[in-house]
Amino acid sequence: MSQESLLKVEDLKVSFHTYAGEVQAVRGVSFEVKAGELLAIIGESGCGKSVTSRAIMSLVKAPQGEIKKGSKIIYHGKNLLEMNQKEQRAFRGGECSMIFQDALVSLNPTMKIGRQIIENIIQHRQISRKEARQEAILLLEAVGIPNPETRIDQYPFEFSGGMRQRAMIAIAIACDPKILIADEPTTALDVTIQAQIMELIKGLKDKLKTAVILITHDFGIVAGSANKVAVMYAGQIVESGGRDEIFYHPQHPYTLALLGSVPKLEWKNKQLLHAIKGTPPDLISPPKGCAFAKRCNYCMNVCLEEMPEITYFEAGHHASCWLHHKEVPAANKKMFQDDRKMIIVNENDFVVDEDQSYE
């Protein structure tokens, strides 16, 4: 894929000022998405994945929130962070829109669904209210809501959870955005409804060539939908790469540990899971070295002292871990590889020249 990237985030740093001190929620995140591509950002709660997406939508508000100097979010060669209010407003909702986790909280309970969709259309396009209404009905139909003509005049409370999420997707895609950010779109939903919503999002990506940034904590959803995956931990991307690389050939101990803590269907019943010990660090005073060091099974002295460098592997796959440094003893590397063989049962299906990846 030599296609140019649509959105590029460079060294994004976001902090929140609280009574307890400055919380460094995002600490230098860089990634890019291309049109028609689905990038999944995966991580535990508090790792900064939602804050990253909010920063793209300029929803991080002063005075508590602060996007640090030097952060860049580049869309069509323009830095979003330097745009004025008017340009930002045109970008938000028009070029880029967002689906939130909790549809009941995100929709306005006092406005009819139709009006909320029409509002977005009129804001960004020069058409009459009547035309916009026709458009809204088509949108509701497109996202799979039955009887859109009657549903359009109903309030959010009359919709079920899955339908609210669909209505929110209808609002998000009303202006054919180039980028769609989905922040845990299915977390509050049941599995059968979750499958429906994910199909809908995948369909948008394929049909309209929308770039999708999917924020989630569920590896199952990532496996079924993503092209690229970025794993976040304590405000940083620790590993990023193509979907298959991340699933069958993870290079960061945290990615491996996350994969190991999800029960696999072929595993024996009641076999102990590979749980990660401890809890994530406090981001008010983040650790000096690697943020994962304290919970890592392969921790070395250097990990506690210094931030690891980024090691690049095959096409677009990179991880920040000292384990891949050339001076690290082979025994440590082997330990990690052995564990990986144990956790990822069908690793052999995915063949990569092992020696090359450690160059």
Binding positions for another protein, rule: CB under 8 A: 44-45, 146, 160-163, 190-196, 198-199, 217-224, 243-244, 247-248, 257-265, 267, 269-277, 279, 346, 349
Specify the DSSP class assigned to residue 92. B
If the CB atoms of residues 133 and 151 are measured against another protein, the closer one turns out to be 151
Minimum CB separation of residue 185 from another protein in Å reads 13
Return d(Cα 240, Cα 313) in angstroms, integer.
10
Dihedrals phi, psi of 85, to nearest 5 degrees? -50, -45
Minimum CB separation of residue 64 from another protein in Å reads 22
At 34 the three-state DSSP class reads: strand
At 218 the three-state DSSP class reads: coil
Minimum CB separation of residue 356 from another protein in Å reads 22
Minimum CB separation of residue 262 from another protein in Å reads 5
Dihedrals phi, psi of 43, to nearest 5 degrees? 175, 170
If the CB atoms of residues 25 and 179 are measured against another protein, the closer one turns out to be 25
If the CB atoms of residues 100 and 248 are measured against another protein, the closer one turns out to be 248
Minimum CB separation of residue 280 from another protein in Å reads 8
Q: Are 151 and 164 in contact (CB under 8 A)?
A: no
If the CB atoms of residues 79 and 297 are measured against another protein, the closer one turns out to be 297
Minimum CB separation of residue 225 from another protein in Å reads 8
Please say whether the dihedral angle defined by the alpha carbons of residues 335, 338, 342 and 348, taken in this order, is positive or negative: positive
Q: Are 148 and 159 in contact (CB under 8 A)?
A: no
Minimum CB separation of residue 257 from another protein in Å reads 7
Minimum CB separation of residue 158 from another protein in Å reads 12
Q: Are 252 and 336 in contact (CB under 8 A)?
A: no
Return d(Cα 317, Cα 88) in angstroms, integer.
32
If the CB atoms of residues 186 and 311 are measured against another protein, the closer one turns out to be 186
If the CB atoms of residues 59 and 262 are measured against another protein, the closer one turns out to be 262
Minimum CB separation of residue 305 from another protein in Å reads 24
Minimum CB separation of residue 72 from another protein in Å reads 30
- Percent composition of the chain: helix, strand, coil (DSSP 3-state, to 5): 40, 20, 40
CA-closest candidate to residue 12, choices 67, 65, 88: 67
- Beta-strand ranges (E) seen in the chain are 5-18, 21-34, 38-42, 65-67, 72-75, 78-79, 96-99, 179-183, 211-216, 228-233, 236-242, 310-312, 318-320
At 228 the three-state DSSP class reads: strand
If the CB atoms of residues 52 and 58 are measured against another protein, the closer one turns out to be 52
CA-closest candidate to residue 213, choices 357, 17, 75: 75
If the CB atoms of residues 7 and 169 are measured against another protein, the closer one turns out to be 169
If the CB atoms of residues 168 and 259 are measured against another protein, the closer one turns out to be 259
If the CB atoms of residues 177 and 260 are measured against another protein, the closer one turns out to be 260
Burial (CB count <10 Å: 0-12, 13-18, 19+), residue 26: buried
